[in-house]
Structure 1
Amino acid sequence: MPLPADPGRLSRRGLLRAAVAAAALGPVPLAAADGAAAAETADAYGALRLTWRDLILGTGYSPTAEPFASKLAALGATAAGLRSAMSPAAESLWPDLPYADPEPDTDAESYTYSGNLNNSFNRLRTLAEAYSQPGTGLTGNTALRGEILAGLDHLHDQAYHAGQARYGNWYSWQIGAPQALLDIDVLMYEHLGAARIADHCAAVDHFVPDSTVAVYGGTSTGANRVDLCRVLALRGAVGGTAAKLALARDALSPVFPYVTTGDGLYQDGSFVQHLYVPYAGSYGSVMLGGLSLLFALLKGTSWEVTDPGRQVVLDSVEKAYAPFLFNGLAMDLVSGRAISRGVQQSDPAAIRQDDHLRGHGIIACVALLGVSASPAEKSRWDRMVKGWIDRDYYRPVLAGPALGVAQLARLKAVDDTVPTGSAEPVGHRLFPAMDRAVHRRPAWAAAVSMASRRITYYENGNGENLRAWHSGSGMLYWWGGTFANGQYTDDFWPTVDPCRLPGTTASRKPLADGEGGTWGAARPDVRWVGGATDGTYAAVGQYLKGLSSTLLAKKSWFFLDDAVVCLGAGIHGRDGTGVESVVENRNLGASGTHAFTVDGTARSTALGWSATLTGARWAHLAGHAGYVFPGGATVRALREARTGAWSDINRSAVTDPVTRRYLTLWFDHGTDPTWADYAYVLMPGATVQQTSARAADTSWLTVLANANEQQGVRVPSLGLTAVNFWLAGTVGPLTASQPASVLVREDGATATVCVSAPLRTGDTVDVTWHRPVTAVPAKDPSVTVLSTGAGLTLRVTPGTLGAVHKATVSLG
């Protein structure tokens, strides 16, 4: 097919557009040598393509300034390598990515081949971006342009065309490949010619027909629905089809409303994908990114998204995403199987994913969504973005290898124009719809990951995340504000002992890779998972049944000002194997020899050191945390170097081994324990002196109960009493008529009583506090006052969503 001639000069519209941009934004990226952007026609579809081009290439930056110059040079180098390796042949465009129809072969091979097709389009997109961006060394290269067009023709003729039968992973055909193809079409539009455009539109229409968004269900929900709408919208812009654009806009509407089951955003801030998987850090990020792009693309056009439900998306920035962003990282407990993605074998030069880089992607989404927000929202978000940029010392955001030029340009603009960033918030957030809790203090943050009949232990699928079996068994994550932010970033998942995840109680019973089934199928038949919070402190609990195990346990966490009190009881198993509760399993890096002190005595820093710490009252790991064992306990300790490869937990990852050192503390409950228990206090960032002093202060904490029926604590200095009632009963001054979580916090002459019913049956719960109360000046509508005086009795009508119900009372 002959190539259209290059334009001889910038169009009048292009000149005007460049002049306006220069005046408003200062330095802008140089146009490609062929003036691709300026050659767009002045119709509505051309305007959309120009907008999309700006969104994916970036505006308002100088290509000779950092961090852009290095990023553009790296893009050029990557593209040059891909270009030299491209070798069109039967059923492949790159020799290492065969996409032959594998019908006679296994499903696994079929998925591999379809993934290779997807990756082929993405490599071609990289070439198109290097051609279109300034400063790559390939900008406007006519030979490269011809190779890109030849590559498009090759992929169309051999694999991605109308009439081709789909095989392997649906995602590659309906989202991955068409998104890359349409991006290329926008970047190379003026060189495609009418025939190519028609062929590409026909191919997209074949694989992504209107019927893919006719029903909100199956693979067309949440983040996937947004991705499909992006394909439809770009198909409309490239093909000049108003109906496709209108369909894309309208098909977004089912994404907006809050849900009460399945995929989507929940009123409490939860985000779930694949029905059972907490996913704000991965699929949620994709959804937020897709919506921020589509809102910006369609803004000011006849297809603008005006559905009032879009406000739910805007509200989600602070309700659903920011709670899981800490100093630039996105917490792993809401990232599903993405935590297992090392560098992929299909592209060894690619950037490995980790919690910081996932966080940077979400931060960039927030910056872009601000374009479509109110001035007040944008102002708040910009300050949040600025704060995250300022605080991520472990992986600086603006040096983030996973961010593209366009994302960096938007973040750099915020960094340059916002004088002061907002601090990380202090407080506690419960997310009962996805069995998660996040606790934040001025110097650290912690979070706990649980599972129930509603939420999976862990997700595996496509050969990913094969050994995170126990990550929903009460895994307790924590991060320091200015320390220890690389704990899960630094090759944690392929090297940690998967049966000793911190905070968990687990059987040592051997489990198969992917045990329990794919896509979140593995869920325990339990309901009591949740807790109560006043917004500052919290009581959180999990009735644990082990994955493919007879293990039972009741686990509670009481989140306080400088500590987390951790209780376990009713620990019971008959697997014929040992059962352990893990206090800590700290990643010390490739060569860490952090001092470890027990009851004032320094212990060995040698690898292979292990000990049974009998009667230990406290321990301290330098640079990390203190650990207090109320009344003394027998705890096991181990220093070891562990070697693993990302391919051990993700079959698509590279196989190069990595080694990390760990310090592990755990309670050994023995083989087939009967109603065992444990108690410890985690103090993130505490010094040796603070840890020792806390252990010596026996009045600071009273464990009111630690049994199979109830677990509760009192901390007089905080005015806090909190009990998880697994069964009805009385603990200390509190009585509950039904299973419940109750937290009472006294503050002078008043107190706040917080109640939740984690069973979610809807049955009313009566809670009595045996303490003189004169009045109840404020309460939620779900709370009825049954009596005051010598004691307080409240009746809570809890509903079925695990919400917390509050009353403020006046003390006698």
Structure 2
Amino acid sequence: MKAADRADNLRVKGPSRRLFLQFSGLAVLLTACAPRSGVGAEELTALGRRWREVTLGAGLFDPAREPYRARLARLGAAARLHREAMTPTGRSLWPDLPFPSLGATPARLRAMARAYALPGTGLTAEPGLGSAVATGIEHYVRHVYAADAGQTGNWWDWQIGAPRALLDAAVLAGPHLTGGQNAALCEAVDNFVPPDRLDDYAGNSTGANRVDLCTVTLLRAIAGADPGRAALAVSALSPVFRYVTEGDGFYRDGSFIQHGSVPYQGGYGAVALTGLATLAAVLRGTRWEIADPAFHNVLDAVDRSFAPFVHDGACLDLVRGRGVARRPYGDHARGREIAAAILLLAETAPAADRARWRGMVKGWAARDTAKPMLRAAEGDQAFHARLAAVLRDETTPEAPEPSGHRLFPRSARAVHRRPGWCAALSMASSRVAHYEHGNGENPRGWHTGAGMLYWWGRGHGDQYSDSFWSTVDPYRLPGTTVSTVRLPDGAGGAWGDTRPQADWVGGVTDGAYAAVGQHLYGLESTLEAFKSWFFLDDAVVCLGAGITSRDGVPVETVVDNRRTGAVDSLTVDAAAGWAHLDGHGGYVLPPGQPLRTLRETRTAGGASRSYATIWLDHGVDPDAAGYVYHLMPGANLAATRARAADPGWARVLANTSGRQGIAVPSLGITAACFWAGGRAGDLAASDPCAVLVRDLGDGTATVTVADPRCVLDGLTVTWDHPVAGIVDGHPILASARTGARLTLVFGRPADQAGASHTVTVRLA
């Protein structure tokens, strides 16, 4: 069934005249909460109405139609119960939520305010509910969130979580807050989020946190009738728009970092995108409309930073930090959050961006069969209505999954897509943490930065979603090379404080193929290794060398660890050099490597899941061990056998601690990770770098280079192949010599932040 048909079957239609009248009546009540007279009062009143429209989806859906009617009725019923159970005392507002209850109590008040502000709840604009919200806010401000209270525990609760929920509730139920109640709330917010909190873009006032603090400041401006505070909220956003070269924020290569060293598009990044989309929509057409030209970087981030990490509606776990361990299907929830932010941002974006993004989200929704997006979006009426409209729109085609490679040098991440499969790689470096844990979350994610190679085939959209993180063996994550020394929970330090000393982490890509490498240092281990991945059309060729450890325990390279079904059979022919996991894919290994396998069911947190594990045992305290294997996502048994029977398909040119490289003649590819200057087949480099050569088959070839360490003043690359001339150079190409061999001299690769640079040549 097509996505448009699914939406039509839900009978989600445009808003009716009755709905218009409902919202019009509510608007009258909200106008009654206009900020007290003064400069900008009417504008701030309009801003409050716009906040309600954008955040609640006012006018986007008909509350009398399903699925909205049932959801709104449930919200109203819950709000009625909250109002009836409210019992203000010095210790709580509700008996089941003892103070300080910084998260739950403000959230409950906001839910009541939403029931007041939304049509169809049965309590819409009901004075008794509005008064209860006002009473609850007053009580909570007096006993917990007071102007003279001291901040304890997590700063986020006091400066972002609690004030945002309280202010949101106050704006939605505004007609029922007295001047004194409003003033007390604003005074309390000023205690924890004073204007000078936004003076410095540093510490915990960066990236997503800065967007949240600005949102709190804008809501404070609306509630307190303060035009100057609104202007401050908007101006303080500007540092978020600008690309950074270190620390938190957006990078030119598409990376997004929070907590200094954690790739976080699927956590803080999604929060930032949601906040920015909301603010852009709320402020549009007002005197506070975002006018900073650098805001265009946020629009670019949709395609550069977020879309590469969403596969069939799910946000890939390698950019979700400690959030991977929170709950099953959290990757799909984050994917929906990103999709919702993109659809909202599209409303204020240029037409070309709007059309492209709507098609992209429509494709995600159509392909997310693990957690159908439209059904899962029913809890967010605004997003559901926007998504349903896109799915109904026959003029918006579903965008397919793109094909190609995206490399993110600054965040040590790579994503490779081909028809029918997607693979993603997470590494650690001197700039990027092995993993993040904190607040008791993800204490055993130790080895996710040790070269974890995720992959998804057709029908496997929930491979890492369905209780994977709670049940998988944390010492055997797919793709990793690890010392099996036992680690304590939270080993290495919290909040991403687990960066190894490795500088050579990254690689090179021409947009279609890639050679990616990691100089690996084990977490709290003596392990050292050199790992390379060559991303191709139907395979990832994986090389390891220089694997050395003195921990006194075995060292393993995990070829794969798949969550499987009971009927997924694992077949191994070690003599012929292959293994195949039915319904998943194939693995090709040179005969003689110590291949080990295990089928097991693992149980944790009330969930039991079956796994098929394939690994290479390097023994106790290996000295310069190595490996070679091919991962073939989605390959059937015949294709796996055929690849194993063709050892020349991918020739290993070098596999040492100095160089790792391959040649794939059928693809015209020669590629190498040079850990040190030297030679790998027909390629030579003067210094550590990554090189990818591709014969395009039309008389031309491309030579792409990168400096993953970002330290080289100059680089010379030689390709022993006859070349007639340069077709297209590059700004950092200082000189070139053609003839019997090609010699390219590049100037200052260090200034390119690890980016790949391509030179096109005409073959002789």
Identify the TM-score tier after normalising by the shorter chain. Answer: over 0.9
The offset of 1:403, in angstroms, is 4.8
CA distance in 1, matches of 2:122, 2:572: 59
Is the CA contact 2:277–2:345 (under 8 Å) kept in the aligned structure 1? yes
Structure 2 residue 334 is matched with structure 1 residue 373: no
Unaligned runs of 5+ in 2: 1-12, 35-41
Is the CA contact 1:31–1:134 (under 8 Å) kept in the aligned structure 2? no
Q: Determine which of 803, 808, 812 is the counterpart of 2:755.
A: 803
Q: Determine which of 527, 531, 543 is the counterpart of 1:567.
A: 543
Q: Determine which of 474, 488, 500 is the counterpart of 2:464.
A: 488
Is the CA contact 2:377–2:383 (under 8 Å) kept in the aligned structure 1? no
Identity %: 51
TM-aligned CA distance change 1:390 to 1:26, over 3 Å:
farther
One-letter identity of the residue aligned with 2:71: K
* Structure-2 residue corresponding to 1:422: 399
Q: Determine which of 361, 366, 383 is the counterpart of 1:407.
A: 383
Is the CA contact 2:14–2:62 (under 8 Å) kept in the aligned structure 1? no
Is the CA contact 1:30–1:134 (under 8 Å) kept in the aligned structure 2? no
TM-aligned CA distance change 1:488 to 1:217, over 3 Å:
same
Structure 2 residue 228 is matched with structure 1 residue 229: no
Is the CA contact 1:628–1:691 (under 8 Å) kept in the aligned structure 2? yes
After superposition, what is the alpha-carbon deviation per residue over 1:737-775, rounded to whole angstroms, capped at 9, x for unaligned? 101111100022111001111121133111100111110
* Structure-1 residue corresponding to 2:55: 56
The offset of 1:416, in angstroms, is 2.0
Matches within 5 A, 1:679-690: 679-690=628-639
Partner SS, residue 799 of structure 1: helix
CA distance in 2, matches of 1:93, 1:286: 29
Question: With structure 1 as the length reference, what TM-score do the two structures score?
Answer: 0.88
Partner SS, residue 683 of structure 1: strand
* Structure-1 residue corresponding to 2:186: 201
One-letter identity of the residue aligned with 2:611: Y
One-letter identity of the residue aligned with 1:594: D
TM-aligned CA distance change 1:635 to 1:49, over 3 Å:
same
Partner SS, residue 161 of structure 2: helix
Matches within 5 A, 1:576-591: 576-588=552-564
Structure 2 residue 313 is matched with structure 1 residue 325: no
CA distance in 1, matches of 2:362, 2:658: 47
Q: Determine which of 657, 664, 689 is the counterpart of 1:740.
A: 689
* Structure-1 residue corresponding to 2:423: 446
The offset of 1:98, in angstroms, is 2.9
Q: Determine which of 158, 164, 173 is the counterpart of 1:179.
A: 164
Structure 2 residue 645 is matched with structure 1 residue 696: yes
Is the CA contact 1:26–1:60 (under 8 Å) kept in the aligned structure 2? no
One-letter identity of the residue aligned with 2:447: H
One-letter identity of the residue aligned with 1:634: P
Q: Determine which of 781, 785, 791 is the counterpart of 2:735.
A: 785
After superposition, what is the alpha-carbon deviation per residue over 1:37-77, rounded to whole angstroms, capped at 9, x for unaligned? 32233821111111111112113211233332343344345
Q: Determine which of 571, 577, 582 is the counterpart of 1:597.
A: 571
TM-aligned CA distance change 1:27 to 1:440, over 3 Å:
farther
Is the CA contact 1:29–1:60 (under 8 Å) kept in the aligned structure 2? no
CA distance in 1, matches of 2:439, 2:674: 40
Q: Determine which of 287, 290, 303 is the counterpart of 2:272.
A: 287
TM-aligned CA distance change 1:695 to 1:206, over 3 Å:
same
Is the CA contact 1:357–1:402 (under 8 Å) kept in the aligned structure 2? no
Q: Determine which of 39, 44, 55 is the counterpart of 2:29.
A: 39
Partner SS, residue 293 of structure 2: coil
The offset of 1:26, in angstroms, is 4.8
* Structure-2 residue corresponding to 1:640: 600
Q: Determine which of 127, 135, 141 is the counterpart of 2:120.
A: 135
How many residues are paired up? Answer: 738
One-letter identity of the residue aligned with 2:734: T
Is the CA contact 1:292–1:368 (under 8 Å) kept in the aligned structure 2? yes
* Structure-1 residue corresponding to 2:38: none
| More moved, 38-47 vs 205-214 | 38-47
CA distance in 2, matches of 1:44, 1:238: 12
TM-aligned CA distance change 1:83 to 1:585, over 3 Å:
farther
CA distance in 2, matches of 1:406, 1:778: 48
Q: Determine which of 704, 719, 723 is the counterpart of 1:773.
A: 723
Is the CA contact 2:721–2:742 (under 8 Å) kept in the aligned structure 1? yes
After superposition, what is the alpha-carbon deviation per residue over 1:637-687, rounded to whole angstroms, capped at 9, x for unaligned? 111111112xxxxxxxxxxx2111111111111111111111111111111
Matches within 5 A, 1:709-748: 709-748=658-697
* Structure-2 residue corresponding to 1:110: none
Partner SS, residue 417 of structure 2: strand
CA distance in 2, matches of 1:119, 1:673: 52
TM-aligned CA distance change 1:541 to 1:78, over 3 Å:
farther
CA distance in 1, matches of 2:714, 2:110: 58
Is the CA contact 1:581–1:666 (under 8 Å) kept in the aligned structure 2? yes
TM-aligned CA distance change 1:28 to 1:707, over 3 Å:
farther
Structure 2 residue 168 is matched with structure 1 residue 216: no
TM-aligned CA distance change 1:486 to 1:203, over 3 Å:
same
Is the CA contact 2:163–2:189 (under 8 Å) kept in the aligned structure 1? yes
Unaligned runs of 5+ in 1: 1-22, 101-115, 343-351, 600-613, 646-656
Is the CA contact 1:98–1:117 (under 8 Å) kept in the aligned structure 2? no
* Structure-1 residue corresponding to 2:141: 156
CA distance in 1, matches of 2:375, 2:425: 30
The offset of 1:32, in angstroms, is 6.8
Structure 2 residue 449 is matched with structure 1 residue 472: yes
* Structure-2 residue corresponding to 1:98: 98
Matches within 5 A, 1:451-466: 451-466=428-443
CA distance in 2, matches of 1:379, 1:266: 25
Question: With structure 2 as the length reference, what TM-score do the two structures score?
Answer: 0.93
The offset of 1:207, in angstroms, is 1.1
Partner SS, residue 633 of structure 1: coil
One-letter identity of the residue aligned with 2:535: F
Q: Determine which of 397, 400, 412 is the counterpart of 1:435.
A: 412
One-letter identity of the residue aligned with 2:174: Y
The offset of 1:78, in angstroms, is 4.8
The offset of 1:144, in angstroms, is 3.8
Is the CA contact 1:174–1:228 (under 8 Å) kept in the aligned structure 2? yes
| More moved, 618-627 vs 471-480 | 618-627
Partner SS, residue 392 of structure 2: helix
CA distance in 1, matches of 2:61, 2:562: 41
After superposition, what is the alpha-carbon deviation per residue over 1:311-343, rounded to whole angstroms, capped at 9, x for unaligned? 01111111111111111011110111111112x
CA distance in 1, matches of 2:123, 2:413: 47
Is the CA contact 1:616–1:635 (under 8 Å) kept in the aligned structure 2? no
Q: Determine which of 568, 577, 599 is the counterpart of 1:617.
A: 577
Is the CA contact 1:31–1:37 (under 8 Å) kept in the aligned structure 2? no
Is the CA contact 1:36–1:188 (under 8 Å) kept in the aligned structure 2? no
TM-aligned CA distance change 1:630 to 1:137, over 3 Å:
farther
One-letter identity of the residue aligned with 1:557: W
Q: Determine which of 258, 274, 279 is the counterpart of 2:259.
A: 274
CA distance in 1, matches of 2:702, 2:379: 45
TM-aligned CA distance change 1:141 to 1:593, over 3 Å:
farther
TM-aligned CA distance change 1:731 to 1:390, over 3 Å:
same
Is the CA contact 2:568–2:583 (under 8 Å) kept in the aligned structure 1? yes
One-letter identity of the residue aligned with 1:625: G
The offset of 1:30, in angstroms, is 7.0
Partner SS, residue 474 of structure 1: strand
The offset of 1:523, in angstroms, is 0.6
TM-aligned CA distance change 1:40 to 1:120, over 3 Å:
closer
Is the CA contact 1:616–1:634 (under 8 Å) kept in the aligned structure 2? no
Partner SS, residue 323 of structure 2: helix
CA distance in 2, matches of 1:30, 1:632: 73
Is the CA contact 1:293–1:368 (under 8 Å) kept in the aligned structure 2? yes
CA distance in 1, matches of 2:168, 2:495: 29
After superposition, what is the alpha-carbon deviation per residue over 1:380-438, rounded to whole angstroms, capped at 9, x for unaligned? 11111111111111111111158511121222222222431211111101100101011
Partner SS, residue 641 of structure 1: strand
CA distance in 1, matches of 2:399, 2:125: 42
